[in-house]
Structure formats: C-alpha cells, structure tokens
Amino acid sequence: MAHERANRPLNPDMALAHVANRWQALLNYEGDTLEKVYRTTLDELSRESGTLGVIFRKAQNKI
C-alpha cells in the first residue's frame, strides 16, 4: 500500500517513500536472506513514530 501511495501519478505521498522502498527491496532476496531482511524490516518499522510504528509493533514473521 505504501508503494502504491508513494508512486501514484497524481499527488504522490512522499512521506511513505522510505517505507515503500523497504518493501520493494525485499524483491531482491530469496531464501534465508529474504527471511532475515523481512524480519529486520518488520522490526525497524515497529520503531517508527506515530501510527506506522503502532501498526508494525509486535508484527511476526510467519514465513
């Protein structure tokens, strides 16, 4: 969703660009590396301030 909002043609939401980039970066990984990067991404997003941090707080990797 962050990727769609940050890249929409009209009125892109640049506040979400860093989040969108983190998710897009996951496409570059496979296997154990993907799992590690995904877990790190969830952890780092949980430390964001405001609503974003609340959304990802206590997120779990179920891959």
Q: How far apart are CA 54 and CA 19, in angstroms?
A: 14
Let me know if residue 14 belongs to a domain.
yes
3-state secondary structure of 47: coil
Q: What would the 3-class secondary structure string for 17-30 be? A: HHHHHHHHHHHHCC
Give the pLDDT mean for 17-42: 87
Residue 2 has pLDDT above 80, yes or no: no
Please give the tally of structural domains in the chain.
Answer: 1
* Domain of residue 14, residue span: 2-56
**What is the model's pTM?**
0.68
Let me know if residue 9 belongs to a domain.
yes
Let me know if residue 19 belongs to a domain.
yes
Q: State the pLDDT at residue 36.
A: 92
- How many helices (H) and strands (E) would you count in the chain? 4, 0
